[in-house]
Amino acid sequence: MSHLGAALDELRKQEYARLSSTGRRFIKGQKYTLLSRWENLTPRGRESLELLFRANRRLFKAYLLKEQFGQLWDCATPEHAGRFLFAWMDALRWQRLEPYRKFARMVLSHWDGIASYCAPENKVPLGFVEGFNNKVRSLQKRAYGYHDEDYFRLKILTCMLPKL
């Protein structure tokens, strides 16, 4: 999602450079409201986005596509995720949003990992993954000087076992 946010920000910059001074006033200062999800916006932020969307259709379409793409992570199976992605890319086809096309190519190049995340047996809470990564990093710091790589692997495997 951070790559999609970067694509939206790049598009915002392109639109700002393309427009004259009268059109620019709607875009100026809207970076973080554009990057926020609709349900997380304050009423004032929603009003300013609605005003921006009435003034600039390309940013409106890009924001809608960004919000829709977030539904990919709710897909229950890899097949459903694939259908969703190709429908999303089909909606992108006729828009002139080059940063989004670049993002779509990046997603396709990483599709195997994304599809495997959508499998029900692979839904791992991200908090667990982050905690595990932090433990591995701390073990790496302590492991400086280990000569046996198998011993380090064993330490990683045993770090998550419950205490006896």
Joined together, the tokens standing for residue 159 give 């770090």
- pLDDT band per the 50, 70, 90 thresholds, residue 13: confident
Q: Please state the domain extents for the chain.
A: 2-122, 126-158
Between 41-55, 56-70, 94-108, 115-129, the lowest mean confidence (pLDDT) is in 115-129
Nearest to 7 by CA among 82, 69, 75: 69
154: left (phi over 0), alpha (psi -120 to 50) or beta: alpha
Q: Report pTM.
A: 0.66
**33 Cα distance to chain centroid:** 16
- pLDDT per position as a tens digit, 108-161: 898 888 888 777 777 777 787 788 889 888 888 887 777 788 888 888 888 877
Residue count of the chain: 164
